[in-house]
Amino acid sequence: MNAHDEPDANPTPIRPYDGPAGGWGALRSVAKHLTEQGVPVRGAKTLLAVNQPDGFDCPGCAWPDRDHTSTFEFCENGAKAVAAEATRHRATPDLFERHTVAQLARHSDFWLEQQGRLTHPMRLDAASDRYLPVTWDEAFALIATRLNALASPDEAIFYTSGRTSNEAAFLYQLFVREFGTNNFPDCSNMCHEPSGIALKRQIGVAKGTVSLHDFELADAIFIFGQNPGTNHPRMLGELRRAAKRGCAIVSFNPLRERGLEKFADPQDPLQMLSGGSTTISSDYLQLRIGGDLAAVKGVIRHVLEIDAQRLRDGQSGVLDREFIAEHTADFETFAADVAAESWAVIEAESGLTRAQMRRVAEIYIASERVICCWGMGITQHKHSVATIQMIVNLLLLRGNLGRPGAGACPVRGHSNVQGDRTMMISEKPPQAFLDRLRDVFGFEPPREHGVDTVGAIEAMLAGTGKVFFGLGGNFATATPDTEATHRALRRCDLTVHVTTKLNRSHLVHGREALILPCLGRTEIDMQATGPQQVTVEDSMSMVHLSGGINAPAAPDLLSEPAIVARLAHATLGARSKVPWLALIDDYDRIRDAIARTFDDFHDFNARVRVPGGFRLPNTAAERRWANAAGKAVFHTHAVPTDAPIHRARRSREEPVFLLATVRSHDQYNTTVYGMDDRYRGVFGERRVLFANGADIAALGLAAGDRVDLRSVAEDGVKREANGFLLVDYDIPRGCLAAYYPETNALVPLSSFADEARTPTSKSIPVIVLPHVPESDAASRRIDASLVP
């Protein structure tokens, strides 16, 4: 990457931050980002429409809003997401004329993003290595021709990122299934897939069970592996309210995260003027990376022991025995296994003391109503499904499921990632759903499972995946094993991306390539019958409308539903059973089709127009268990002691560390907004490695030194990422953290969660070496693989 792409290098990149999260820093940061994007006035107006009944859904995270009708809720990172979309900068055909693809590829991701909104559909001209403008009709005709020429529809792969609306997602799955494949990898495969799998089997729903109202009632909130101060800032408002009324907030995180400690709410004038803040976490457990299963099992062991002791003392026990008897299965087996687990193993693997876990058990028992939240610190490990089931086991012990103030809360990422799954963006659709599609639309959908994200990369590498189509996202950069992924994309005959901005995936292309620019969520979507709204589903199953207010970034942009429908029309033509173009004239027609397909969406158009929208039914929240057992099931899991990290440590002389890849405060996944990570005290620099001071010293290094990373993988492939600045950070020994996506090259494609196949981005065994300047060349090889 070009160093000169980035803003001026900061002379003191590391300046520990001891203020609260939020506060004036958040307001200053918003002003800065709006100004940089050239949108001070329009931006402010745009911000006031975020999450309003007649405005648009925030394109940031999936955290719900209070009623979706309340006053403007301020969120620094939501504002950055809006500013990024409402930018005045434009990536016009002129940009592509001035740069070959190889030249563009030499720029950093940050620079690519700064070029602004794309304005025209572009087609790769291989001879000149340039993208040239193409008409929409030509673009659709080209894709249609290539799709129809495939030996099998399964040679095409259709990726989705979680910003896609319900309407676009529904049309997309309809088109692709009528075309004939279930090849639907999506960002969820890299994100909350393990949550869906764990919960579906255990409690019969693949989603969380709580609503915002439960946060007002909870006596304790446990937060596992999540950094809300950066990734779900509006959640801090709920946590602050909860903390103020005395709710215990217990955070499990290897890193000290500012947003989990103290928060000054920019919504609260008094707090802002007084410089005050609210303490968020009452307890902060700095466990080891990957140590959550052991930690929760330790807490459960204490709960069971306290229960037994109380019974022996003639007191009442602490378990909800009625709930366990009536609603759960397999408790006895589970309890016996927990009692047999060794404390030595629990302590060694969690990195917590028995006393620390005892304290959590006491908080748990003292709390009538408990919510457990979790994020990527839980899902991106080999044993993520088991860890989530252990967290739910803890909830089940005292009936903390399906009653007010209690429940499971996987905190979803992208603003509509949950809705996309509800619309059946899924490589493993249930047969009953396929029957329904057949009955409603009159075509026979494919029955075989398709590929997920890892499977898609494998298929492209093997040459069986030939056309890659991405509805949003940045597949080349978000996925693991960067070098292998790039090789995979380059093997394709055709790569197509529907996108708002230029990103790496457009430059790591197949033999033929198209970039299709679309409207963003903040923009007016004008169709034959007038301006259209779309719908989204938040992390708590609330479905509501979203309509843009800004003029489109360019006259040639199409909406995502229009792109999908016109592509379907071009590809399937007269053989289609679906009136594609008519659906686009009025999105109410798409919603009617959704209502016919999914019972939970009956009277969709009417219900979604009620201010605030509606909540999808959730059987587990009503204590009905729609899984095979017909009960909430206690799942027994051993504490893992033979994971890749254990094997790597056994096989190596030098210390092997466990690296977690995390988000900085100035990024949205692969989109880098800026070079600062304010709450972690990092400024003007992204190649940093957070490490424990004692580990730094033991390596014979000092904070401020540069180091190179090698992953210790079992396939013998050398994977490296080089030139990271060592930062002395409050993190347990043996653990490291660095930013995603700079470290994705270290994650082997074959390293993923059991059952869920989610890449293990939070547990990469690595060794740390002093930086060798020549190794920059190796790091650049990854970027150089961009240059054909």
Distances (CA, A) of 272 to 125, 677, 764: 55, 21, 40
> CA–CA separation, 514 vs 145, rounded Å?
14
When binding is defined by CB under 6 A, the residue of 292, 525, 708, 783 that contacts ligand MGD is: 292
Closer to Mo ion by Cβ: residue 23 or 413? 413
In the three-class reduction of DSSP (H, G, I as helix; E, B as strand; rest coil), residue 262 is classed as strand
Q: Which of the stretches 86-94, 237-245, 344-352, 657-665 binds ligand MGD when contact is defined by CB under 6 A? A: 657-665
Outline where 534-603 has alpha helix (H). 560-572, 580-585, 587-597
Distances (CA, A) of 15 to 24, 682, 731: 17, 6, 17
Question: If we measure between CA atoms, which residue out of 664, 716, 752 comes closest to residue 197?
Answer: 752
Closer to Mo ion by Cβ: residue 39 or 476? 476
In the three-class reduction of DSSP (H, G, I as helix; E, B as strand; rest coil), residue 113 is classed as helix
Closer to ligand MGD by Cβ: residue 298 or 445? 298
Question: If we measure between CA atoms, which residue out of 744, 724, 760, 278 comes closest to residue 505?
Answer: 744
Closer to Mo ion by Cβ: residue 363 or 471? 471
Strand partners, 545: 535
Q: Which of the stretches 96-104, 155-163, 203-211, 388-396 binds ligand MGD when contact is defined by CB under 6 A? A: 155-163
Residues that bind Mo ion (CB under 5 A): 191, 413
Q: Which of the stretches 528-536, 583-591, 643-651, 666-674 binds ligand MGD when contact is defined by CB under 6 A? A: 666-674
Question: If we measure between CA atoms, which residue out of 175, 646, 670, 243 comes closest to residue 445?
Answer: 175
Q: Determine, following the binding rule CB under 6 A, whether residue 191 of this chain makes contact with ligand MGD.
A: yes
Cis before residue 644, ω within 30 degrees of 0? no
Do residues 39 and 550 touch, judged by C-beta distance below 8 A? no
Q: Determine, following the binding rule CB under 6 A, whether residue 293 of this chain makes contact with ligand MGD.
A: no
Closer to ligand MGD by Cβ: residue 199 or 632? 199
**Window 673-702: residues binding ligand MGD (CB under 6 A):** none
Q: Determine, following the binding rule CB under 6 A, whether residue 286 of this chain makes contact with ligand MGD.
A: no
Closer to ligand MGD by Cβ: residue 427 or 560? 560
Closer to ligand MGD by Cβ: residue 161 or 356? 161
> CA–CA separation, 81 vs 122, rounded Å?
25
Q: Determine, following the binding rule CB under 6 A, whether residue 252 of this chain makes contact with ligand MGD.
A: yes
Closer to ligand MGD by Cβ: residue 318 or 373? 373
> CA–CA separation, 509 vs 605, rounded Å?
40
Q: Determine, following the binding rule CB under 6 A, whether residue 765 of this chain makes contact with ligand MGD.
A: no
Q: Which of the stretches 10-18, 169-177, 289-297, 586-594 binds ligand MGD when contact is defined by CB under 6 A? A: 289-297
Q: Determine, following the binding rule CB under 6 A, whether residue 413 of this chain makes contact with ligand MGD.
A: yes
Question: If we measure between CA atoms, which residue out of 259, 262, 251 comes closest to residue 374?
Answer: 251
Rg of the Cα trace of the chain?
25
Considering the complex, what minimum distance in angstroms separates the CB of residue 413 from Mo ion? 3
Considering the complex, what minimum distance in angstroms separates the CB of residue 395 from ligand MGD? 16
> CA–CA separation, 743 vs 741, rounded Å?
5
Per-residue DSSP letter, 558 = B
Residue 517, phi-psi category: left (phi > 0), alpha (psi -120 to 50), beta (remainder): beta
Q: Determine, following the binding rule CB under 6 A, whether residue 501 of this chain makes contact with ligand MGD.
A: yes
Closer to Mo ion by Cβ: residue 230 or 393? 230
Closer to ligand MGD by Cβ: residue 180 or 194? 194
Considering the complex, what minimum distance in angstroms separates the CB of residue 521 from ligand MGD? 6
| C-alpha 762: how far from chain center | 13
Q: Which of the stretches 10-18, 288-296, 363-371, 712-720 binds ligand MGD when contact is defined by CB under 6 A? A: 288-296
Question: If we measure between CA atoms, which residue out of 490, 497, 551 comes closest to residue 520?
Answer: 551
When binding is defined by CB under 6 A, the residue of 29, 183, 231, 559 that contacts ligand MGD is: 231
Q: Give the number of C-alpha atoms closer than 13 A to the C-alpha of residue 506, restricted to the C-beta side.
A: 30
Do residues 709 and 720 touch, judged by C-beta distance below 8 A? yes
Q: Determine, following the binding rule CB under 6 A, whether residue 744 of this chain makes contact with ligand MGD.
A: yes
In the three-class reduction of DSSP (H, G, I as helix; E, B as strand; rest coil), residue 483 is classed as helix
Q: Residue 772 has which token pair?
A: 């060798």
Q: Which of the stretches 395-403, 493-501, 583-591, 778-786 binds ligand MGD when contact is defined by CB under 6 A? A: 493-501
Considering the complex, what minimum distance in angstroms separates the CB of residue 553 from ligand MGD? 11
Considering the complex, what minimum distance in angstroms separates the CB of residue 266 from Mo ion? 25
Q: Please give the residue ranges that form the binding site for ligand MGD (CB under 6 A).
A: 60-61, 77, 161-163, 187, 190-191, 224-227, 230-232, 252-255, 257, 289-290, 292, 375-377, 380, 413-414, 471-475, 478, 498-501, 503, 518, 520-521, 560, 660-663, 667-671, 740-741, 743-744, 747, 761-762
